[in-house]
Amino acid sequence: MIIDWKKISNSIYTGIKQKIERLEKKPILGVILVWEDAVSLRYINQKRRFASFVWMWFAFKQLEKNISEQKLLKTINEFNEDRNISWFIVQLPLPKHLNSKKILSTINPKKDVDWFNPINMWKVLIWNDSWLVPCTPAWIMELLNSLKIDLVWKNVTIIWRSNIVWKPIAALLINAWSTVTICNSKTKNIYNFTKESDIVISATWIPKILKLDMIKSETIVIDVWFSIINWKVFGDADFDNINIAWIKITPVPGWVWPLTVAMLMKNTLKAAIWLWKI
């Protein structure tokens, strides 16, 4: 079975929209862009489109590519302090002359989208506080929730490449009492782990790495990203050879982005309500 992400993502968007309709003020999602490249602009326009769909405002600030660190930090601080801006992101990648680590840690934790900020990571990891969960782990949890999966007693294998993804998702699943194995490209006998798993989360960007015989029946396969090779889109799962009749799998391409942005909107709404309260 291919997981019906459209249904899941529509219900999330509808939920957000209904909540915003009842608000007197609209939340504002901010985006700071340094470096005007086509890909970043496309991403930003998609975010703008999704935001308008749920009746959320959009504050966009574009800065020249050779901006000084000091000037960028000044803009970030303006966004940090502006009570109208509920939440904002600094679009990555940044030009090389800027220190990403320093810049990202300047963002107000209450308005921070990612785990580049220590406070938010700390809340989720140590205190099991799900206040602001980064978008990718957030949609994975939302998806499992929509499928009505009881995470207790479940074995989960995460095949990762990026630090930013496995750590929060592993923490959220372990906090929910799943048993989690984190594999990497140097794992021996990876089959032993995937074969025992009820849920396999793959985020390697290596096309077709997840084969039919690695997965047992009834497993939920979450294929987190995709790779593009010769204009063709590939997931981590080897779709041609996976019998989708006996597993549940997320489709590639196209499904990740709407869910990721939905989480962005959800977090922005949460942050807005929080900001207005104080």
Q: Does 179 sit near a copy of itself (CB under 8 A)?
A: yes
Q: Among 22, 38, 96, 152, indicate the residue that binds a copy of itself (CB under 8 A).
A: 152
Give whichever of 185 and 241 is closer to a copy of itself, judged by the CB atom: 185
Q: Does 169 sit near a copy of itself (CB under 8 A)?
A: no
Q: Does 101 sit near a copy of itself (CB under 8 A)?
A: yes
Q: Does 180 sit near a copy of itself (CB under 8 A)?
A: yes
Q: Does 254 sit near a copy of itself (CB under 8 A)?
A: no
* Minimum gap (Å) between residue 262 Cβ and a copy of itself: 24
Q: Among 40, 46, 106, 187, indicate the residue that binds a copy of itself (CB under 8 A).
A: 187
Q: How many CB atoms lie within 10 A of CB 78?
A: 13
Pairing of strands 232-234, 227-229: antiparallel
Give whichever of 191 and 276 is closer to a copy of itself, judged by the CB atom: 191
Q: Does 196 sit near a copy of itself (CB under 8 A)?
A: yes
Give whichever of 75 and 175 is closer to a copy of itself, judged by the CB atom: 175
* Minimum gap (Å) between residue 252 Cβ and a copy of itself: 25
How does DSSP assign the chain, residue by residue?
-B--HHHHHHHHHHHHHHHHHT-SS--EEEEEEES--HHHHHHHHHHHHHHHHTT-EEEEEEE-TT--HHHHHHHHHHHHH-TT--EEEEPSPPPTTS-HHHHHHHS-GGGB-STTSHHHHHHHHTT---TT--HHHHHHHHHHHHTT---TT-EEEEE-S-HHHHHHHHHHHHHTT-EEEEE-TT-S-HHHHHHT-SEEEE----TT-B-GGGS-TT-EEEE---EEETTEEE-SB-GGGS-TTSSEE--TTTSHHHHHHHHHHHHHHHHHHHHHH-
Q: Does 188 sit near a copy of itself (CB under 8 A)?
A: yes
Contact 103, 94 (CB under 8 A): yes
* Minimum gap (Å) between residue 175 Cβ and a copy of itself: 8
Mask of contacts with a copy of itself, 105-134, x by CB under 8 A? ----------xx-xx-xx--xxxx------
Q: Does 163 sit near a copy of itself (CB under 8 A)?
A: yes
Give whichever of 205 and 226 is closer to a copy of itself, judged by the CB atom: 205
Query: Which positions touch a copy of itself (CB under 8 A)?
Result: 101, 115-116, 118-119, 121-122, 125-128, 152-153, 155, 163-164, 166-167, 170-171, 174, 177, 179-184, 186-190, 192-193, 196
